[in-house]
Amino acid sequence: MTIFLLILLFGFLFYIKTNIDSKFDRTEYEFRELSRKLDLLKAAEKLSEKPIATPETTKPPLAVAIEKPITPAPIEKETILEKTENVIQPIETVPTPKFEEPKPYIPVEPEKTFWERFRENNPDLEKFIGENLINKIGILILVLGISYFVKYAIDKDWINEPARVGIGMLAGALILGVAHKLRKKYAAFSSVFVAGAIAVFYFTIAIAFHSYHLFGQTVAFIIMVLITAFSSLISLSYDRKELAVLSLIGGFSVPFMISTGEGNYVVLFSYILILNIGILALAYHKKWGIINILSYAFTVLLYGGWLFNELDEKTPHYLGALIFGFAFYIVFILISIINNIRTKGLFSATELSILASNSFLFYAAGMVILENFHPELKGIFTTALGLLNFAYAWFLYKKMGLDKTAVYLLIGLTLTFITLAIPIQFEGNFITLFWAAQAVILLWLAQKSKINYYRFASVIVQALMTISLLMDWKAIYLSDLTLPIVFNKIFLTGIFAVVSLFAAYYLLKDEEKNQQQFGITFNPKEYRYFISIIGIVIGYLVGLFEVNYQANLHITGVNSAFTLPVTYHFIFSVFIFNHFCKIKNTVTNQLANIIAIVNIVLFTFFFSNYSFYEHEQYIATGIHQRIGFYLHYILLIITLFFGYKLYQINTEDPVFEIFQKKFIIWIAAFFIVYLASTELMLHGLVFSNSPVTVQDVQSSPFYKDYTTANLQYLKEQIAFDQIQLSQSQIIKTAYPILWGILAFVFLIIGIRKHIKNLRIAALILLGITILKLFFFDISNASETGKIIAFILLGVLILIISFVYQKLKVLVQDDNKNHANNETE
């Protein structure tokens, strides 16, 4: 067993040492290659600077003296050509080669075999064998030889048990002495000997305790702690990271090497805490990230495993678990920042990850403990953790000048925990609230710290927030809960989610540059546009669901209740429509037009009907509210507003091609006539009908045919007949007058605005009205109705005829202009 443990330990040390040394060799090899390339580039630049020699042209003889200046005569073009033919032309020079600055090349390396990777990391195979491999094999063989010798001596009873332990300690001391002698000239070789010596010390004490029982658990524990402290000091003295790793592994192995199966969490965690304080001292002097990672991982595994098992016990130690968890939390915050405080250095991604995960893991452990210990303290615990992170951030930034990246991270954690505190304390939808706050915090931290991981994490958390909100809507609005108006957890959660989306939109308003991570490109413009649309949609649904829920809860009558969410829809649409109109670009203008058209169609053919349904129920029962009738005025005003804005927007520059077509005038005229007729019918029924009374039911000829249980059906039948009679009278008497007035208005507008199609529509509407009056309305109409309809319609037709004759000049001019346009 001892031999197996030795082989396992030295195998692990061999792997660590090989990995570290091979990385140094690879770095040295790459440095030599870079130097060689730089020398080649310098030689090429010197070559390009030397000019290439060209033969000299024949120089004309110099004049000895010039008695007087001679005015040069003009030279003809032919003379120049003749002379240039006799001049010796220079030899054509070779262009000097230009050495372009080498472009950076990012190689796409194919997947390599183990041997290829090994050769790349160790280009000098002889050096690897001579400096790295042989010494590790040698120390392993030496330790095995000592082990076999000790085993042989024990089998032969040459030495007793105390002597065996003494031999083990002496062998370790001898190895350590050899290492000390070799430390100056052969530091790497010496560190391997030190590792072997420490391993011998550990296993010797473990065997003395478990097998020989030479001393108790407390003494064995103290001795191993001293060995751990000694190995830590040696690692600092030798400045070797692998020795520190060995010390750490040995330190965390001590509780298991001296364990007797009786668990005492106070002793265990006290020792782990002392060990981590030693790691803290080591981290102050050396920035060895692997030491921090291993100590953090071992502590999390030990504490987490114990806590998981402890919660299943009958009497868990909640207070002790919380105290030790807080102690580990404080120590690892200090381990993560202490070296950077001393050196004023920057934080690595590993250190930031430990700093963040440490807070979240302690928070998770605290919430699990308090869930069963004191649930009422969860909100206070969350707030305290947030304030603690803020205190760290303020102190480290103001007093210590810590790297801003870590400060921003601590501030982000502060905001996260403070945000969580209220919903957790009052048992709200804290998951959705947490993700809503976390998405904005991560995006803010990404901008401040320039860490792209936070930006992409923000996008993921924003998506999780949306999904969580949808689940909340389904769970609460479809339940039997009775929620107060507006001030309820699901509505406020939805508002907070909308604020989160638009806060992210605001943070991205000045970003233009794309960011890449994990092969994915983050485009701030596209994401900003996307979350704005999502924010509008979620904001619309938040209000719609709340209004619909409260309307169905407090209003009697389905049709009356339905008009409330419809009114909300129209009011919300007006705000979005105006917002799109203010932006004034092609896309938003198109969206604004679509919103207007859809709402006009919805009200005209669908939503206006609910006022009639409400009226029918009111007449039949007499107990329903007239909420729908009064709210429909708001819908009508908004619909007319949409129609006016459509005409205003598309008069000069139509957004869609369809608005340039001539038949759009006919469609607009149809909607106006239909809406006006619907409103006339509704008001006619409201003012002419009254709820069915008991006397109406008793005076019905069918009263005797119904039992008491079916009297409500008879009441509804009487109301239906009453409404049908009123509708028939309105159609026969009021519609001809309304249509005649509308025809007159269309004609006036068509003449003044020179819109021929509108004038034709007016005349056709007038023709339909006349035909309807003579072939349909005259039958079964009351005498009073006939008189009123004929007189008023006749007067209107005369007025229309007079106006058309009076303004015929304008009509003729319009026809001429139209003809000229067609000719051109």
Query: Rounded to the nearest 5 degrees, what angle is found at the Cα of 598, between the Cα atoms of 595 and 601?
Result: 145
**Which carries the bigger pLDDT value, residue 302 or residue 251?**
302
pLDDT greater than 60 at residue 35: yes
> Of 476, 475, 407, 473, which is closest to residue 444 (Cα–Cα)?
407
What's the pLDDT tens digit per position in 523-539? 899 999 999 999 999 99
What's the pLDDT tens digit per position in 535-572? 999 999 999 999 999 999 988 888 889 999 999 999 99
pLDDT greater than 70 at residue 276: yes
Q: What is the mean pLDDT of residues 259-286?
A: 78
Mapping DSSP to helix (H, G, I), strand (E, B) and coil, where does residue 515 land? strand
- Contact criterion met (CB below 8 Å) for 458 and 442: yes
pLDDT greater than 50 at residue 9: no
Q: CB-based contacts of 407: which residues, under 8 Å, 6+ apart?
A: 393, 396, 397
DSSP H/E element including 477? helix 452-477
- Contact criterion met (CB below 8 Å) for 451 and 405: yes
- Contact criterion met (CB below 8 Å) for 538 and 501: yes
Predicted confidence at residue 248, as pLDDT, reads 74
Phi/psi for 521 (5° steps) reads -100, 130
- Contact criterion met (CB below 8 Å) for 194 and 176: yes
Burial profile 481-494: b = 16 or more Cβ within 10 angstroms, e = fewer: eebeeeebbbbbbb
Q: What is the mean pLDDT of residues 693-707?
A: 68
Q: What is the DSSP string of 595-639?
A: HHHHHHHHIIIIITHHHHHHHHHHHHHS-S--HHHHHHHHHHHHH
What's the pLDDT tens digit per position in 611-621? 999 988 888 87
Q: How far apart are CA 358 and CA 346, in angstroms?
A: 19
Predicted confidence at residue 88, as pLDDT, reads 44
Q: How far apart are CA 11 and CA 453, in angstroms?
A: 36
Predicted confidence at residue 638, as pLDDT, reads 96
Predicted confidence at residue 400, as pLDDT, reads 66
* Residue 692, token pair as written in the block: 């069915």
Q: CB-based contacts of 518: which residues, under 8 Å, 6+ apart?
A: 456
How many CB atoms are located within 10 Å of the residue 17 CB? 23
* Residue 719, token pair as written in the block: 């109301």
What's the pLDDT tens digit per position in 376-426? 888 888 888 888 888 877 877 776 666 677 777 777 777 777 766 765 665
pLDDT greater than 50 at residue 78: no
Cβ burial of 51 (10 Å; 0-12, 13-18, 19+) is: exposed
Q: How far apart are CA 468 and CA 476, in angstroms?
A: 12
Predicted confidence at residue 658, as pLDDT, reads 84
- Contact criterion met (CB below 8 Å) for 533 and 512: no
Q: How far apart are CA 249 and CA 108, in angstroms?
A: 38
Mapping DSSP to helix (H, G, I), strand (E, B) and coil, where does residue 517 land? strand
Which three-class secondary structure string do you get for 358-412? Answer: HHHHHHHHHHHHHHHCCHHHHHHHHHHHHHHHHHHHHHHHHCCCCCHHHHHHHHH
Length of the chain: 824
- Contact criterion met (CB below 8 Å) for 594 and 662: no
Q: How far apart are CA 792 and CA 797, in angstroms?
A: 9
pLDDT greater than 50 at residue 625: yes
Q: How far apart are CA 25 and CA 791, in angstroms?
A: 110
Q: How far apart are CA 179 and CA 242, in angstroms?
A: 15
Predicted confidence at residue 186, as pLDDT, reads 65
Angle formed by the axes of helices 627-652 and 558-583, to 10°? 20
Query: Which amino acid does the sequence have at 211?
Result: S
- Contact criterion met (CB below 8 Å) for 2 and 203: yes
Give residue 778's pLDDT band: very low, low, confident or very high (50, 70, 90).
Answer: low
Q: What is the mean pLDDT of residues 740-767?
A: 85
Q: How far apart are CA 50 and CA 24, in angstroms?
A: 40
> Of 353, 312, 324, which is closest to residue 336 (Cα–Cα)?
353
Q: Of 130-144, 466-480, 491-505, give the range with the top mean pLDDT.
A: 491-505
How many CB atoms are located within 10 Å of the residue 569 CB? 20
pLDDT greater than 70 at residue 20: no
Q: What is the mean pLDDT of residues 223-243?
A: 74
Mapping DSSP to helix (H, G, I), strand (E, B) and coil, where does residue 239 land? coil
Predicted confidence at residue 815, as pLDDT, reads 52
Q: How far apart are CA 120 and CA 123, in angstroms?
A: 6
Percent of the chain whose predicted confidence (pLDDT) is above 90: 17
Q: Which residue has the tokens 């249980």?
A: 709
Query: Which amino acid does the sequence have at 382?
Result: T
Query: Rounded to the nearest 5 degrees, what angle is found at the Cα of 217, between the Cα atoms of 211 and 222?
Result: 115
Q: CB-based contacts of 154: which residues, under 8 Å, 6+ apart?
A: 164
Angle formed by the axes of helices 558-583 and 586-602, to 10°? 160
Percent of the chain whose predicted confidence (pLDDT) is above 70: 68
pLDDT greater than 90 at residue 708: no
Q: How far apart are CA 487 and CA 507, in angstroms?
A: 28
Q: How far apart are CA 747 and CA 744, in angstroms?
A: 5
> Of 621, 642, 639, 641, which is closest to residue 631 (Cα–Cα)?
639
- Contact criterion met (CB below 8 Å) for 521 and 515: yes
Using CA of residue 684, residue 687, residue 688, residue 693, what is the dihedral sign? positive
Cβ burial of 109 (10 Å; 0-12, 13-18, 19+) is: exposed
pLDDT greater than 50 at residue 81: no
Q: How far apart are CA 38 and CA 250, in angstroms?
A: 47
Q: CB-based contacts of 39: which residues, under 8 Å, 6+ apart?
A: none
How many CB atoms are located within 10 Å of the residue 43 CB? 11
Q: CB-based contacts of 54: which residues, under 8 Å, 6+ apart?
A: 90, 91, 93
pLDDT greater than 70 at residue 262: no
Strand partners, 517: 520
pLDDT greater than 50 at residue 497: yes
Q: How far apart are CA 335 and CA 292, in angstroms?
A: 7
State the chain's mean pLDDT as an integer: 76
Q: What is the DSSP string of 753-778?
A: TT-HHHHHHHHHHHHHHHHHIIIIIT
Give residue 819's pLDDT band: very low, low, confident or very high (50, 70, 90).
Answer: very low
Q: What is the mean pLDDT of residues 9-33?
A: 52
DSSP H/E element including 20? helix 2-49
Q: How far apart are CA 626 and CA 635, in angstroms?
A: 15
Q: What is the mean pLDDT of residues 760-776?
A: 80
pTM of the model: 0.56
What's the pLDDT tens digit per position in 334-376? 888 887 777 666 777 777 788 888 888 898 888 888 888 888 8
Q: How far apart are CA 194 and CA 422, in angstroms?
A: 55
Window from 19-23, 68-72, 725-729 with minimum mean pLDDT: 68-72
Strand partners, 520: 517
- Contact criterion met (CB below 8 Å) for 468 and 432: yes
Say if strands 520-522 and 515-517 run parallel, antiparallel, or are unpaired. antiparallel
Q: How far apart are CA 201 and CA 605, in angstroms?
A: 91
Mapping DSSP to helix (H, G, I), strand (E, B) and coil, where does residue 484 land? coil
* Residue 677, token pair as written in the block: 């007729």
Phi/psi for 325 (5° steps) reads -60, -40
pLDDT greater than 50 at residue 820: no
Q: How far apart are CA 151 and CA 133, in angstroms?
A: 27
